[in-house]
Amino acid sequence: MAPANSAASLPESRNKRAPSKRFLAADEVRPSSPGRCRAWGPGELFAEGQWQVIRVQLEQQGWYPSQIELVHDQLRQGWPLTTAKRHAARLSGHCPLRAQNEI
C-alpha cells in the first residue's frame, strides 16, 4: 500500500530548497540615503547636459512624468536625447505636440 502523502516519505533534504542568491533578503536592503528613492542624484550629467535642465525642458514641451522617466532611463542606457525621446514616445504611445518637431 502506497503512503497517502508521498511528500512525507521524501528525505528531509529534498523538501528544503537552498535560498536564492538572486534577491536580497529584507534585512539586507538599505536605502543609500534617507528620503531618496532613486540611485541617481540631481547632478547627473549626460552628453546633452545636466539631467535637471533636460527634465525641465521636457516638462515645458508637455511630456508626462511617466514619459520623462522613460526618457531618463533611455539616457542612462546611453541613447542620445533625440533617440531617447523617440523611444519614450513609442513606448508610451503618446508624443507631446510641442515636441513633435524635435523628434
Question: Cell numbers of 34, please?
Answer: 534617507
**Among candidates 83, 56, 79, which has minimal Cα distance to 68?**
56
Rounded to a whole number of angstroms, the CA Rg of the chain reads 24
User: Which residues of the chain form beta strands (DSSP E)?
Assistant: 45-46, 49-50
Listed by start position, the domains of the chain span: 48-103
Q: In this predicted model, what pLDDT tens digit does every residue of 54-81 receive, in sequence order?
A: 999 999 999 999 999 999 999 999 999 9
Q: In this predicted model, what pLDDT tens digit does every residue of 34-53 receive, in sequence order?
A: 554 555 455 799 999 999 99
pLDDT of residue 36: 47
Question: How confident is residue 6, by pLDDT bands cut at 50, 70 and 90?
Answer: low
Other C-beta atoms closer than 10 Å to the C-beta of 51 total: 19
Arithmetic mean of pLDDT, 16-27? 68
Measure the CA–CA gap between 83 and 79, rounded to whole angstroms: 6
